[in-house]
Amino acid sequence: MPPITIGEIIHDARAVARAVAKNPPEKLIAPDRGEEQQADEVEEAAKTHVVYSELPIDATSTTDIYNNLLHAVRAEKPSHEYVGIDGSSRRLEAYNIFIGTYSTAVSIVDGAYLVGTHPDTGTYPAISIGDAPAASLSSDPGITLKATVTMPLIDPAALAKAINCSNPPICNSLKTLGYGRGYNVSTMLDENRVLSETYALRYASNRIASRLTRIALDGPVYMTPGLLVRYYNMARNLSYKSVAVLVETVYVLSYLLNVYKRAETILSITSKGRNRIVMGIVKRVNRSRLLLNALRMSKNLESLQSRAYTDPQLVEQILRDKHLYMHMPPYAYGVGVAIGPIISVINLAVLEKAIAGSLGLDKNPALASFMQKVARTGENLGTILQGLRSLHFLAKRSYYLVLKAHGTGYRILRVEFPQSAAEEPLHVSSGGEIAISKDTRILRRIVDNDLVVLREILWLATQPGLLEAPIPVALADRVARSVSRTVANIWYNYLKDVVSFTYDTLVQLRGG
């Protein structure tokens, strides 16, 4: 498909402005801010549930942690081409309309820099990433739009039809749920931005030279949101086809469809050769708790856990306990410390069963239910559920990378690698359960391979100076934010005379 252009975005904004001026939409129905879906790491999750993190060692003391999971890293110039991928979203809120705008950038760093974008601004090379939207709109104005979507990734009305919903109060709540009608704003932005990034990942794999071996995504390679644990507990404890369960099922299905598409794309890339590596670079780690959650699975480590509430606090504590600041003096620029790996697992098979039960598809369901198209991107219910069942588990291994700056400064990033259930240190037992090997020889092999990439990431994040992220991701991030702001300004300029935008929107448009 040809790339979406600024001209098409202008067409949509102008058409919506005319429709709004002729027939102003009703006031938005939005959930309370406190109910917004959180895309942060799970705070409490037992191994028997759906999401958990674990350390690949039998740690019984802090010494075990320091000896096996603490690694000195020295920056090394990359020997491969690096690609960075990042997406950006902007929110424009009025009192009777909401608009999300999106952009995605792909950067190539191999001696020289090149950045392509979606949509096509005419300023940068354009990338074509299929049906990823350039904007989303809070309600359907009943007109033809070229680059704008008006329904969630999982269409609630289509889902109600697929399960043959017959209870009027419950069915009406599900059928009327949508952008601008109670659907969570943060989820709306997340699901479209992540979808766009996954399509860009697919584009990079298919279009960029075969020598490509390193792709760095901005953000988690797979998120582990509290939404999944909350839904699992809700599905077990609330009655089948209750309003709360079905609405939450829409959110979980949208999230898992994105995960399924991301996992498929990563598998297609990494299966082409061992040297083709995909990683996630997480810059915002202030609320991360992957390492703390993993420590809960170990014994006799209360002294580490009790003094920290987040992973960055724990990392700083480890640096102090080991006097590592002394080993990173002001002149030791380009020296870092890596802590990990932390193994995080999402049990997709358990979630698939919970979804099937919530939708009433676990006992003699009609085949027609599975054949119904429920996703905006064309997938039917059977395709999604079968995909989750076939993947069974989704896993990643993560490292906290402490980057040394000039003087006394430093920065903490989290680097994530997708992990196959058939790949060490994981293995699936005959009973279908996942296990993590605690063999230190296996751990050493894994860490040695990962350190090759971590050294290159350290170099890319400190040359020529300490950056907010490795330069491929930093470039993609800056360009994506610039383009999403351009798209947002187009919408604002066409609609400002027919709707009243909020103060927060005005502030955001002036920002970076």
Going by C-alpha positions, the residue among 92, 97, 146, 143 that lies closest to residue 119 is 146
Instruction: Identify whether the C-beta of residue 458 lies closer than 8 Å to the C-beta of residue 401.
Output: yes
Look up residue 282 and give its two tokens: 């997480």
307 lies in some domain: yes
- Cα–Cα distance between 326 and 63 in angstroms, integer? 19
Report the domain count for the chain: 1
Instruction: Identify whether the C-beta of residue 12 lies closer than 8 Å to the C-beta of residue 495.
Output: no
CB atoms within 10 A of CB 329: 12
329 lies in some domain: yes
Tell me the pLDDT tens digit for each residue of 282-330.
Answer: 999 988 889 988 887 776 566 666 666 889 988 888 887 776 654 555 5
496 lies in some domain: yes
- Cα–Cα distance between 84 and 274 in angstroms, integer? 19
Compute the average pLDDT of residues 4-29: 91
- Cα–Cα distance between 410 and 332 in angstroms, integer? 11
Tell me the pLDDT tens digit for each residue of 473-492.
Answer: 999 999 999 999 999 999 99
**Helices marked H in 48-163 — which ranges?**
62-69, 156-162
pLDDT at 360: 83
- Cα–Cα distance between 445 and 207 in angstroms, integer? 32
Enclosing domain of residue 71: 6-510
User: Which element (helix H / strand E) includes 13?
Assistant: helix 6-22
Instruction: Identify whether the C-beta of residue 315 lies closer than 8 Å to the C-beta of residue 400.
Output: yes
Instruction: Identify whether the C-beta of residue 49 lies closer than 8 Å to the C-beta of residue 444.
Output: no
104 lies in some domain: yes
238 lies in some domain: yes
1 lies in some domain: no
Tell me the pLDDT tens digit for each residue of 326-349.
Answer: 455 555 566 789 999 999 999 999
243 lies in some domain: yes
Residue with the larger pLDDT of the pair 276 and 304: 276
Instruction: Identify whether the C-beta of residue 281 lies closer than 8 Å to the C-beta of residue 458.
Output: no
479 lies in some domain: yes
Compute the average pLDDT of residues 81-95: 93
